[in-house]
Amino acid sequence: MESLKRTEGASPPLRRKFNLRRPWCLAGLITAIIVVIIVIVVPLAVILPRKNAHKGKASKVLFPVYIYPETNTTWDPLYNAISTHPELDFVIIVNPSSGPGSSTPSTQYATAVRRLDTYSNVQKVGYVPTHYANRNLTAVLEDVAMYANWTATSTALGMDGIFFDEIPYDWNSTKAEYLTQINEAVKNSSGIQSPHLVIHNPGTIPDSRYDANTTDITVVFEQSYDYFETQEKVLAKTLSASNRTEYSYMLHSVPTMTNHSLKNFVDDLSRRAAYLFLTTLTSDYYESFGSGLEEFCDAVPTKN
């Protein structure tokens, strides 16, 4: 019995010892779980971007086509890009001969332009050079009138606006008046179809005194990818993101990128400008179709 009493007396300390270890085991388990969460979840949060953290803004493609359609298939890369991206809007710059050339386009050119008109996600603008507002004003206005006359031949040939190239960026009151007159010619033309787009291409940020309500889009950058890399901060500092619908960026000599890198790059551009053009070509940028055309179109965001 004495031995039994000693055994019975020893039992409570054993039970107390067991009770003391249980919370420590539970605490250890909780600690281990927390460590696992920190090790796995925190790095993923750092590596994976937050939802919409780098989301682009809905944009359009401003596409210069300075390629004469020698055959019915010459513009096929463009048609294919348009048809395979029905959610993406294209503003196509047509340029038969550094301007409209003759008063009516050739049969081949007319056929190519009519085909563009069959796509609901396409607007067409005619190319007109100004030689930095040094070209004879009458000659510029005649080019606008010639494009307007295309509509009389066929509504399918009608232009939705004019792309004025080689626009001055340094302020000059005489040049400012020149630009006002050519803008008004487009806005008041019955042959230019709605919305009577007026696009200026100084290729750089123009003097703010050139800002005018009648200029719808300004190409504020037209240079190589490498040059953009050096000017990115200047552009971001100078241009207001709230005015992105008035800006266009056009980059050539764009290096080959992974789809992910290209998407990130285009998303970044889209937050600054609503009209974009990128090409991998390093020369004759607008006279042929770059190899990365489809990838670029894939990368352009169509929704905010």
Judge whether residue 50 has pLDDT over 80: no
Separation CA 38–CA 215 (nearest Å): 54
| Position 295 pLDDT exceeds 80 | yes
Mean predicted lDDT score pLDDT of the chain: 87
Cβ atoms of residues 198 and 233 within 8 Å: no
**Residue pLDDT, tens place only, 226-247:** 999 999 999 989 999 899 999 9
- DSSP three-state, residue 25: helix
> In angstroms, rounded to a whole number, what is the distance separating the alpha carbons of residues 278 and 222?
10
Structure tokens at 6: 């000693």
- The yes-or-no verdict on residue 25 having pLDDT over 70 is no
User: Considering only CA atoms, which of 196, 188, 195, 194 is closest in space to residue 164?
Assistant: 196
CATH number of 60-299: 3.20.20.80
pLDDT band at 28 (very low <50, low <70, confident <90, very high): low
Decide if pLDDT at 41 tops 50.
no
The full set of domain ranges for the chain reads 1-48, 60-299
58 falls in which pLDDT band (50, 70, 90)? very high
Backbone angles phi, psi at 84, to 5 degrees: -85, -5
For residue 211, name the pLDDT band (cuts at 50, 70, 90).
confident
271: which residues sit within 8 A by CB, 6+ positions away?
A: 56, 57, 241, 244
pLDDT for position 212? 78
Residue type, 184: E
* Average pLDDT of the residues in 80-106: 95
Work out the average pLDDT over 133-141. Answer: 98
CB 175 within 8 A of CB 168: yes
List, as own/partner pairs, every contact residues 182-189 make where C-beta atoms lie below 8 angstroms and the sequence separation is at least 24, other chains included. Answer: 182/128, 182/130, 182/137, 182/140, 182/141, 182/144, 183/212, 183/214, 183/215, 184/214, 185/141, 185/144, 185/145, 186/144, 186/161, 186/162, 187/214, 189/144, 189/145, 189/148
Residue 92 has pLDDT above 60, yes or no: yes
pLDDT at residue 33 is higher than 80: no
Q: Exposed/middle/buried for 198, CB within 10 Å: 0-12, 13-18, 19+? A: buried
- Is it the case that residue 131 has pLDDT exceeding 90? yes
Q: Are the C-beta atoms of 162 and 125 separated by less than 8 Å?
A: yes
